[in-house]
């Protein structure tokens, strides 16, 4: 289900678009059917969401996956590519550089993140991420992360065991 914002833009905020060179101000929008308000740039169609608003949308998408049990088609999610003219963007709230990350490490969607204030999505990125979540991407990424953590813990245990064995051979019994 695509994101359908209200047809009329709300109030103009004091926050500037992190993407546009000649920064217009972001306009508030309420996402239909959700209790989430976003800020939208009317020039580039980018969206700024606070962490709470994004959590509301992503939890709903994950619940839709849990109820549908749909399988993810990984071929529809291509690896994120860095734009040739890419530059750091600044958080519209604190003006610190946003951190670029591939959402969920496997979604193929590069987002710009402020740990304190929220997430910037270029046009269509939020819709792509929610589609990825609805297809089970977040669940699969979580399982992959847990498997990776277990592998690293096992490797550390083997390394520790090897070191103990080597200490015994080098120093012998006391």
> How does pLDDT run across 78-113, given as a tens digit for each residue?
555 556 566 789 999 999 999 999 888 878 899 999
Choose among 104, 130, 141: nearest CA to 47: 130
38-89: per-residue pLDDT in tens? 899 988 999 999 999 898 898 888 888 776 666 666 555 555 555 656 678 9
Q: Retrieve residue 93's tokens.
A: 């709230």
- The burial class, CB within 10 Å (0-12 / 13-18 / 19+), for 104 is buried
Per-residue pLDDT of 120-143, as tens digits, reads: 999 999 999 998 888 888 777 666
Q: How far apart are CA 6 and CA 136, in angstroms?
A: 27
Quote the DSSP letter at residue 31. B
Q: Are 100 and 19 in contact (CB under 8 A)?
A: no
Looking only at the bridges linking them, the beta strands covering 47-50 and 99-102 are unpaired
Strand runs (DSSP E) across 74-117, as ranges? 99-102, 110-114
Within a 10 A sphere around the Cβ of 117, how many other Cβ atoms?
A: 18
Domain chopping of the chain, boundaries:
12-147
């Amino acid at each position: 289900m695509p994101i359908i914002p209200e047809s009329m833009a709300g109030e103009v905020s004091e926050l500037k678009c992190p993407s546009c060179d000649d920064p217009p101000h972001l306009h508030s929008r309420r996402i239909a059917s959700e209790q989430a308000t976003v800020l939208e740039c009317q020039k580039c169609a980018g969206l700024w969401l606070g962490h709470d608003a994004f959590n509301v949308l992503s939890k709903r998408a994950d619940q839709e996956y849990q109820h549908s049990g749909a399988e993810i088609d990984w071929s529809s999610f291509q690896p994120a590519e860095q734009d040739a003219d890419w530059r750091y963007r600044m958080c519209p709230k604190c003006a610190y550089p946003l951190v670029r990350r591939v959402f969920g490490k496997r979604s193929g969607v590069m987002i710009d993140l402020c740990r304190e204030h929220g997430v910037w999505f270029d046009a269509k990125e939020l819709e792509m991420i929610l589609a990825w979540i609805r297809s089970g991407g977040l669940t699969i990424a979580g399982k992959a992360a847990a498997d990776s953590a277990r592998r690293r813990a096992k490797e550390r245990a083997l390394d520790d065991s090897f070191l103990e064995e080597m200490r015994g051979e080098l120093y012998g019994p006391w």
